[in-house]
Structure 1
Amino acid sequence: MVSTIASENQNPRQNDILAALPLEDYQRLLPDLEFVSMPLGWALYEAGQKLTHAYFPTNSIVSLLYVMENGSSAEIAVTGYDGLVGIALFMGGNTTPSRAVVQSAGFGYRLKASVLKREFQLGGKLQQLALSFTQALITQMAQTAVCNRHHTVDQQLCRWLLLSLDRLPTNHLKMTQELIANMLGVRREGVTEAAGKLQTEGIISYSRGLILVLDRPRLEKRVCECYAVVKKEFDRLLPQKHVHQTTVAPALRDRRLHMYLRD
C-alpha cells in the first residue's frame, strides 16, 4: 500500500503532460488518475503483454527495454515526469515487444486504457501532447540505437547520466550496477571501468556504490552528440514545466546526482 504521507506530497501536475492540460481537461481526468508507488525494478508491463494502463511518472524514471531470447537486454528509451508510458494504447495496438521497468524508484499516476483512449479520441490537448511526446520518444529510440552502435561505453554512460538528471525533480537516483549494465547492453565490468575513468578526471565521485556528479559541464563535454539531439527534440516538442539543469544559471549547474548503486 502507498503511504498517506507519500501521496500527500505528490500531485498529478508534477508530470509535465498532465500539467499542460487545460483545467477543464485535467479535472475531467482527475477522478480516474490513480496514485501508484513505483519501486525499483518493477515491470509496468512485459513484452507482448496487453497494456491495461498508461503511466504518468512524477518523480520516478521508467526504462523501455528490449530483451533477447538469451536474457540479455538493452535500453531503447527512458521516460520520467516529461512524458508517459504506454503509447501503444493510442498508436493502434494494445501490446508492444518491449518491456517497461522502473529504473529509479518513486511515484506516479496511472490511467485505465479505456479512459486514455476515450480522451485521445476527443482530439483535444491530451491527444496533441501524447503525439508530440511519441515523436520525441521515437527520436530518443533512434538516437539510442545509433549511440549503442557507434559510441563508447564511456560516452553511453555520460548520456545515460545526463538523461537521468533531466528526468528527475531531485538529484537522488537509486540504481543497481547490474541494471545500468543491462540498460546499456554492456557487461557490468564495463560500467565499473567507465565510471572509474570519470572519477579519475574529477567529473564524478565514486565510492562504495555512491556516484556524485561533481562537474556537469565537463560531463556534457564528454558526452556524444546523441544527448543534445534528444534533448533538443524534447525541448522543441514538449512543454517545459520543469527547468532542466542544463538551462539554469552556471552556479546551479553542478547539482550533484546521488546514485546509490547496490551490488
Structure 2
Amino acid sequence: MSMRNRLLASLSPDDLEAVRPWLEDMPLPQKLELSLPGEETVYCYFPTDGIGSTVIVSPEGNQTEIGVFGREGMSPASAVLGATSNPYRVVMQVGGRGYRIARTKLIELMEERPALHRLLLRWAQVFTAQAATTALSNAVHSVDERLARWVLMCHDRLGGDEMSLTHEFLSIMLAVRRPSVTTALHVLEGNKLIYSHRANIIVRDREGLEAFASDAYGVSEHEYARLLGDFRER
C-alpha cells in the first residue's frame, strides 16, 4: 500500500504498520460529504489526492468555507482533539481517493502510539491556523486577492496546473455571490495569472498569483512547514 498521504507517510515504519490494517482505501468523489454538523463522527479521512472543504453552516443555511485539505492532511481535525462530532460540513470539493479509518480505532491508536498522537495534534494546529487566516482574509482582503489565495491553496494540493472548481464551490469558498466570482475570475485572467473556462481553472503564472495574493497567502503554509515540513512539492 503506497502512502501518498503526507501525514501517514511521515509515520515511523512501526507506527505505520500499526495503522495500516485499519485503513480502508476508497474513492472520494466530488460532493461526497465526509461529515455533517452535529452528527457523530464515524470515520476519519486521509486523502491521497483530491481536495476536501470544511464549511461552517449557519442555522439559516448560510455557509462559507473555513479551510481546505488534501494529501497533506486529514479530516475532521476535531476527532484528533477527542470530540465525537464537529460543527462543520466536510465535503469533497475536487474528487480523488483516500483512506478512511474508524474514529474510535484512530483514538485507540493515538493512545497507544504517542508519536502518532503528536503528529495529528500538529495537524490540528495547522488547520486551526488556516481557519484563522481565512477569517482574517475575509475581513481585510479584496475578493480578487482571496480568489488568488484559494487558487494557490488548491494548486498546492493537486498534481497539475488544471483544476475543476465550480462557481458554486467558489462562491462558498469566498463567501460571495456568483457574479462576484465571475468578476474576480476575469480580473485574474486579465492579469494573465489564470485561464478560466466553465468549471476549469488553469494556473498560468504561479509566481504572479503569489504576488497578487500578497499577505492573504502563506501564513498557514509556513505553519505547516514549521511543524510538519513543506508539502508544496513544486
TM-score range, shorter chain: over 0.9
Structure 1 window deviating more from structure 2 (155-164 vs 67-76): it is 67-76
Q: Which residue of 2 aligns with 1:222?
A: 212
CA contact (8 A) 2:36 2:89 kept: yes
Percent of aligned pairs with the same amino acid: 33
Q: In 2, Cα distance between the equivalents of 1:201 and 1:238?
A: 34
Q: Which residue of 2 aligns with 1:109?
A: 99
Q: In 1, Cα distance between the equivalents of 2:3 and 2:229?
A: 12
Cα pair distance change 1:168/1:209, threshold 3 Å:
closer
Q: Does residue 244 of the first structure (1) align with residue 220 of the second (2)?
A: no
Q: In 2, Cα distance between the equivalents of 1:28 and 1:209?
A: 41
Q: Which residue of 1 aligns with 2:118?
A: 128
2:123 partner amino acid:
F
Q: In 1, Cα distance between the equivalents of 2:199 and 2:158?
A: 19
CA contact (8 A) 2:165 2:199 kept: no
Runs of 4+ displaced beyond 6 Å? none
Q: Does residue 87 of the first structure (1) align with residue 77 of the second (2)?
A: yes
SS for the counterpart of 1:94 is coil
| Equivalent residue pairs, number | 234
Q: TM-score of the superposition, structure 1-length normalised?
A: 0.85
What RMSD, in angstroms, separates the aligned Cα atoms of the two structures?
1.5
- Residues 1-263 of structure 1 aligned to structure 2 (within 5 Å): 11-240=1-230, 242-245=231-234
Q: TM-score of the superposition, structure 2-length normalised?
A: 0.95
Aligned-pair CA distance for 1:183: 1.9
Unmatched runs of 5 consecutive residues or more in structure 2: none
Q: In 2, Cα distance between the equivalents of 1:243 and 1:197?
A: 25
Q: In 2, Cα distance between the equivalents of 1:243 and 1:226?
A: 17
Q: In 2, Cα distance between the equivalents of 1:62 and 1:13?
A: 18
Aligned-pair CA distance for 1:210: 3.0
Deviations 1:3-46 (A, max 9, x none): xxxxxxxx551001100111111112111100111111111010
Q: Which residue of 2 aligns with 1:6?
A: none
CA contact (8 A) 1:55 1:85 kept: yes
